[in-house]
Structure 1
């Protein structure tokens, strides 16, 4: 191949380029830059440690649903940033590009499931009568809704990945599908935040009223417990970080692949990478099994051992666990 002029009809793409060169400049890649390898190594290690800590704590404290969802999300993020480390060596590595796109887009969706599972257990432990919705309905709505966001984004990613050279329309369809999934995720997150904020406001007003019914004294004690309040604050900050990340993703995808926002690494690192890492670290460090033990299966088993139950009562209690 001549070093002066490219072959007739040549267009740089992940199918025609394997490494940077005269006809395959870095600027022609979707990202348009060499990812910062040091930052991405740090992020990959951070997500890997968060996944490991979440799994260990989950097995120890038996918070199965929460731990599996959050650890899977952290693991996906870790894989995604390993992909970006490979892109730091060669931005034309098509496989690494696809890996980081899919993993980093889908990872936070799984992490959100961990948040959704906490609301049901918080309502059950504090005072379920204050909730506008039956506690068991929270995961029945939010988890499938979140999975729907994941599926839509995965479909969009598959469409975009299948768009070869000259298939700009197919690429744009994939882009719009991904963005639809992210917009839906923002809507789901906003609904979750509204319901959570409403319940915590009602619970705070009730427990501070000085007129707490005897059956809710345990909830009143939990509401002022320092560990539980720390857990709620950690979940709140994690929620805010994930919401910021999703809003950023909408702005990024709005301009399409290779947009000015997508090619601005600093905004990606701050508003995507570190927002999700903050959420993952908080969920791992302030694990519910330690700071909110009422969410664990171990706590449920201990409570059941303290009092006799009829067979139907036991079945009902088990149905309340996730």
Structure 2
């Protein structure tokens, strides 16, 4: 809509009046025609049917695999957020399929805006939860922050990103093509939410990287707990860490791309470039979802799965259990007798079943 000649409209009309008039005209479009060209749509092209079907199938697979392993190993919260994010992505790319025939399909366009924007934010929550459990399993004492506090730091920040982007997506979707100014406000909200998400991701990466280097040095000393050393060298555990790191990297790349894509406003040159969208949006989320689905903690990091599957305590975590683990890892060897707490997952509240018996350094 940029670069419009004002002389084509009645005298006294401002640029905003012209933009709204054009928006209202195009809002009435239901199909591609000479007066409603495909170039005037937000996407500016007919989406490729094959690649969108491929993405829909890929996210359906990720969702089902996540549910399969998550239910089997009872990693409830970790499973729920990845499955929900994959389901949103599935809905988004399924909605893009009708756009391959008719880019003016407003309902499909609105669905794909909201679903594809919000899906990765939910997946991030599961990634944030892993840092706490890695710290508890290796050495809580080396973490600059109490491991049980990490979910209370990163999850609320991530939810804030979700809320800001949801507001922007709702404004943009509800006003698409009939209120240009409101669409721009929605665009700014989405950009703000994505920028905040990048900041949170970078903060998480810095925190995780700092802990990695501290453990890497500690693991080579005589003070290192033998069981922590064994876990550090365990191939399955390392596969899990590599998968989470790969997922984190993909989502970070996608969020940076989204900032560039949204910065130029709806229908800008980057937004109308389908190849960049396929690679930097589609694959940068599909790959993380599949990595997290097929390399689950229930199979590769059982210490995390044990803590998250406390009997009858979905969504609850015993602070006492975290405290016991922290105190234990602060001592070399870590073979003291202490109270074993059957804990739940991340929320930081709840009660555990207490039994007096020796435990390993990574028991729940």
- TM-score, structure 1 length as denominator? 0.89
Task: Tell me the residue number matched to 1:158.
Answer: 170
Structure 1 pair 296–154 and aligned structure 2 pair: CA distance change class (3 A)? same
How much does 1:162 deviate? 3.0
The answer to whether residue 245 in structure 2 is matched with residue 236 in structure 1 is yes
Structure 1 pair 166–60 and aligned structure 2 pair: CA distance change class (3 A)? closer
Where is the helix percentage greater, Structure 1 or Structure 2? 1
How much does 1:164 deviate? 5.9
Structure 1 pair 27–118 and aligned structure 2 pair: CA distance change class (3 A)? same
Q: d(CA) in 1 for partners of 2:261 and 2:129?
A: 29
CA contact (8 A) 2:129 2:346 kept: no
Structure 1 pair 321–141 and aligned structure 2 pair: CA distance change class (3 A)? closer
Query: SS in structure 1 opposite 2:266?
Result: coil
Q: d(CA) in 2 for partners of 1:278 and 1:179?
A: 23
The answer to whether residue 218 in structure 2 is matched with residue 209 in structure 1 is no
RMSD between aligned residues: 2.3
Task: Tell me the residue number matched to 1:3.
Answer: none
Q: Any stretches of 5+ residues in structure 2 without a counterpart?
A: 1-9, 11-20, 312-320, 322-335, 349-364
CA contact (8 A) 2:114 2:173 kept: no
Q: d(CA) in 1 for partners of 2:176 and 2:67?
A: 39
Task: Tell me the residue number matched to 1:45.
Answer: 57
Q: d(CA) in 2 for partners of 1:47 and 1:219?
A: 35
Q: d(CA) in 2 for partners of 1:289 and 1:164?
A: 43
How much does 1:15 deviate? 2.7
Structure 1 pair 11–157 and aligned structure 2 pair: CA distance change class (3 A)? closer
Structure 1 pair 210–262 and aligned structure 2 pair: CA distance change class (3 A)? same
Question: Can you list the C-alpha shifts for 1:163-196, whole angstroms capped at 9, x where unaligned?
Answer: 2656322111110000000000000000000000
From 293, 314, 320, give the equivalent of 2:341.
314
From 290, 294, 304, give the equivalent of 1:295.
304
Q: d(CA) in 1 for partners of 2:171 and 2:204?
A: 29
- TM-score, structure 2 length as denominator? 0.79
From 126, 141, 155, give the equivalent of 1:129.
141
Query: SS in structure 2 opposite 1:296?
Result: helix
How much does 1:314 deviate? 3.0
Task: Tell me the residue number matched to 1:100.
Answer: 112
Q: d(CA) in 1 for partners of 2:25 and 2:55?
A: 27
How much does 1:14 deviate? 5.7
Q: d(CA) in 1 for partners of 2:345 and 2:33?
A: 60
CA contact (8 A) 2:75 2:308 kept: no
How much does 1:110 deviate? 0.4
1:24-103 counterparts in 2 under 5 A?
Answer: 24-103=36-115
Q: Any stretches of 5+ residues in structure 1 without a counterpart?
A: 1-7
From 286, 290, 294, give the equivalent of 1:285.
294
Query: SS in structure 1 opposite 2:287?
Result: helix
Q: d(CA) in 1 for partners of 2:26 and 2:95?
A: 15
How much does 1:160 deviate? 1.6
Question: In terms of Rg, which structure is larger?
Answer: 2
Q: d(CA) in 2 for partners of 1:71 and 1:39?
A: 21
Query: SS in structure 2 opposite 1:275?
Result: helix
Structure 1 pair 29–60 and aligned structure 2 pair: CA distance change class (3 A)? same
The answer to whether residue 308 in structure 2 is matched with residue 265 in structure 1 is no
When the two structures are aligned, how many residues end up with a matched partner? 306
